[in-house]
Amino acid sequence: MSYDDLRSVRHTLTAAARTFVPEIADLDDDDWRVVECDIERLFLQRTPEVRRQVVLFLTALEFLAVLRFGRPFSHLALDSRTRFLESLQRSSMVAVRRGVWGIRTMVLVAWYTQPATTFAIGYAPQFDGWTLRRPVSTPITSTDGESANGAPANGAPANGAPANGSLANDNPANDNPVNDNPAHHAP
Amino acid sequence: MNERTYDVVIVGSGAGGGTVAQELAPLARQGQRILVVEQGPRLRSFEFTGRETDMSSALYRDGGAFVTADRSISLAFAQLYGGSTVVCTGTSLLATERTVSDWHVPGLAWSDLEWRSRKYLEQNSAHLIPPEDINDNNRLFADGARAAGFSVEQFPVNVSGCRGSSLCNLGCPNGAKQGTHVVQLPAAERAGVEVVTRAEAVRVEERAVVVRVRQALPGEKGAPGEWEPGEYRVRARIIVLAGGAAGTTALLLRSPISRRIPHIGTGFTCHPSLIMVAEHDAPITNDVGHPKSFYVDHADAGGYVLESCMYPPFVVARSLTGFGADHSRMMHAFPRLQMILAFACDRTTANNRIAVDDAGEPVVHYKLTPEVTQSLAAATRAAARIFFAAGARRAHVPAADPPLLERADAARLDTRIDASHVVPGTTSISSAHLMGGCAMGPPHQAVTDAWGRVHGIPWLRVADASLFPDAARINPYVTVMVLADRVGEAVRTDVGVLGAITAR
């Protein structure tokens, strides 16, 4: 069960990914391809048996939707896809539940390891953590995650760039541990 | 096949193998040949980038995607020089006297473990993080737990020179964590113990281990392997297995010698865990500082332990129940999220065990018992009380349906949170504490004695978490080290006796 097998169900996978993570629907083809490549990488890390089950589940998902909605899963509107996946997630059959769980996990892991995504949600660990970011004991903030001075209150700089800080470890390649923010897509 | 001969071979380099290696350093200084074989690579300091994608792949078995046979629980354990001591948060506690007493292992006294643990707590620089370096996420846990009426304790952690990157679970990028890769293994190597990485133990034969050394893949992290790629039969007077609960058990099960060892694979426990998050009105410091400072020990009273914790977004995302807009909104609150890990103190059952598949790879059969789901529900109620006592606006807990609890729900947690909502295949359950499979105990019911000697096979020893006859009921790495310390002591004593049986 290879990479090509996953590609054979890519329309279903794309539709499922857009259901699990609404922001994915806003990506252009190139940006989605970046995420899709990461899903494929995660797929290839699975055992052959799990890979077989992933492809089988996506194939079944496409056609089970025909029975319920009269259209394949990948042709359904977001609302129908959401209701359908939610119903499968509550199935009495553990194989069905774990099928949803397995696809969902791959999509979420691929999405939430994208540097642009982690940057967008405000996750910004730094090698020199405390040197750069002392706790704000009583932050004066609005609820949209910005402090009164306009900087994200988690300590990243106000200009929106990742806080590089002094990466004093011995890695010449260490620009920033997480947020190298290629901005290749805006989640 | 290449042939090599040593006095002692140790399989694995984590909390167990690293400790035994250090404890056998005096033998190495006396000229005895000691070898450690490690399946994973030896990462260089600059390769700890903190980036989730490449570190997960480099550190964890199956990139962190190893799951139970029914795919309902993800099991995290590391495979590299230093094993899981590279990726744990360094919480340094010994199993309690009651736990060790409940194990009923003849010849194993908690007082002996406690005495030995002092050496490792000192060696590993275990200490309490000072208040000024405790982040808001941890502080809110402690404050909320106290306000909710719980007794809160602080973890000693094994860090030295911690700069607060918060990236413990991806391997400390600053080399602050005092795992075996920093403390015990380098000390052993300085004394002459040989460590070979990228070397997988394929099977155990009579006084020998067959090892397959592989080449680094293109782009793979880690220093080049010490031996040329190929298969080696490594003969030794004593063989110590310390590849972790899954690794050691699977190695034995795929070896013909397993026919002489009843009870292998039984008695598996794993502290099934839930990760819960709560949203505060204002941002808190959560992705800076040590991620895990405090805990509430309700192992005896409720069968669970709660810990403050912090995980990167991809772990949090998959731990939340559900998907879509609500899920996304919670993730976008990341700078305002407080997190709590709850694990159930599961007990051994007849069906929870480690087996191997046709390829000899480990397969973990594990079902949640009703007691465990009740414990997880009780832990979830306690966590929710802590969240709201700490001032959280809403909490996301997988043992509620729907999983989002608003502050107004705080008064009816007992009805909102129920064990029936802990559903395998829907609820994200994980574990990082794999235990059992080669348990200590009397010959009629266990694999080894209290010193890790496999019953009936004097040259074969076990020195890792597979020795646990039941769950540790607390983070296990210090308990593994003190058990391995005993194994090392027994090997030092026995190697002379077994010296009469020279390696062939």
With cut-offs at 50, 70 and 90, classify the pLDDT of residue B426: confident
Kindly report, residue by residue over B12-71, the tens digit of the pLDDT: 999 999 999 999 999 999 999 999 999 999 999 999 999 988 899 899 998 888 999 988
Give the largest Cα separation in chain B, rounded.
Answer: 73
Listed in sequence order, the residues at least 6 apart from B8 whose beta carbon sits closer than 8 Å to its beta carbon are: B24, B27, B32, B33, B34, B35, B236, B237, B238, B239, B240, B491, B495
Q: In the prediction, which pLDDT does A47 show?
A: 84
Tell me the C-alpha distance between A52 and A6, whole Å: 9
Q: In the prediction, which pLDDT does A50 show?
A: 87
CB contact under 8 A, B288 and A129: yes
Mean of pLDDT over chain B: 95
Residues of B in contact with A170 (CB under 8 A): 45-46
pLDDT at B155 over 50: yes
Number of CB pairs < 8 Å for A and B? 191
Q: What percent of chain B has pLDDT over 70?
A: 99
Q: Which amino acid is at A187?
A: P
For residue B144, which of B407, B328, B497 has the smallest C-alpha distance?
B407
Over residues B104-125, the mean pLDDT reads: 97
Tell me the C-alpha distance between B426 and B415, whole Å: 20
Tell me the C-alpha distance between B271 and B366, whole Å: 11
Distance from CA of A116 to the nearest CA of B (A): 12
Q: In the prediction, which pLDDT does B377 show?
A: 96
Query: Residue A147 to residues A137, B77, B132, B281, B444: CA-CA distances in angstroms?
Result: 12, 38, 21, 12, 64
pTM: 0.89
Place of tokens 């010849």: B107
Q: Extract the runs of DSSP E, i.e. beta strands, from B345-472.
A: 353-356, 362-365, 394-396, 404-406, 429-431, 460-462
Q: In the prediction, which pLDDT does B401 show?
A: 86
Q: In the prediction, which pLDDT does B188 show?
A: 98
Query: Residue B480 to residues A48, B10, B76, B96, B458: CA-CA distances in angstroms?
Result: 33, 15, 17, 13, 21
Residues of A in contact with B166 (CB under 8 A): 125, 129
Q: Which DSSP symbol is given to A148?
A: T
pLDDT at B384 over 60: yes
CB contact under 8 A, B62 and A46: yes
Q: What percent of chain B has pLDDT over 90?
A: 92
CB contact under 8 A, B165 and A172: no
Distance from CA of B225 to the nearest CA of A (A): 21
N-to-C CA span, chain B: 15
Tell me the C-alpha distance between B196 and B185, whole Å: 12
Of A21, A94, A126, the CB nearest to B70: A94
Burial of A64 (0-12, 13-18, 19+ CB in 10 A): middle
Listed in sequence order, the residues at least 6 apart from A106 whose beta carbon sits closer than 8 Å to its beta carbon are: A39, A42, A43, A54
Q: Which residue of B has its CA nearest to A47?
A: B62
CB contact under 8 A, A129 and B52: no
ipTM of the complex as predicted: 0.87
Q: In the prediction, which pLDDT does A3 show?
A: 60
Residues of B in contact with A158 (CB under 8 A): none
pLDDT at A116 over 80: yes
Token couple for B105: 């292992």
Token couple for B131: 């208040």
Query: Residue A131 to residues A167, B153, B176, B201, B252: CA-CA distances in angstroms?
Result: 11, 26, 15, 43, 48
Q: In the prediction, which pLDDT does B476 show?
A: 96
Q: In the prediction, which pLDDT does A137 show?
A: 52
HSE of B494, CA atoms in CB hemisphere, 13 A: 19
Tell me the C-alpha distance between B383 and B277, whole Å: 9
Listed in sequence order, the residues at least 6 apart from B71 whose beta carbon sits closer than 8 Å to its beta carbon are: A50, A98, A101, A102, B425
CB contact under 8 A, A97 and B46: no
Q: In the prediction, which pLDDT does A134 show?
A: 67
B241 or A136, which is more confident? B241
Tell me the C-alpha distance between A70 and B272, whole Å: 40
CB contact under 8 A, B163 and A133: no
pLDDT at A145 over 50: no
Mutation site, A154, A180, A181, interface B, largest B CB count within 10 A: A154
Residues of A in contact with B50 (CB under 8 A): 125, 127, 177-178
Kindly report, residue by residue over A8-50, the tens digit of the pLDDT: 889 999 999 999 999 999 999 999 999 999 999 889 888 888 8
Distance from CA of A83 to the nearest CA of B (A): 11
Residues of A in contact with B332 (CB under 8 A): 120-122
Of A109, A128, A141, the CB nearest to B163: A128
Of B50, B133, B317, the CB nearest to A125: B50
Tell me the C-alpha distance between B37 and B17, whole Å: 9
Of A20, A102, A130, the CB nearest to B323: A20
Listed in sequence order, the residues at least 6 apart from B161 whose beta carbon sits closer than 8 Å to its beta carbon are: B174, B175, B176
Mutation site, A109, A149, A174, interface B, largest B CB count within 10 A: A109
Over residues B364-389, the mean pLDDT reads: 97
pLDDT at B105 over 90: yes
For residue B130, which of B351, B279, B293 has the smallest C-alpha distance?
B293
Q: In the prediction, which pLDDT does A133 show?
A: 74
Q: In the prediction, which pLDDT does A162 show?
A: 37
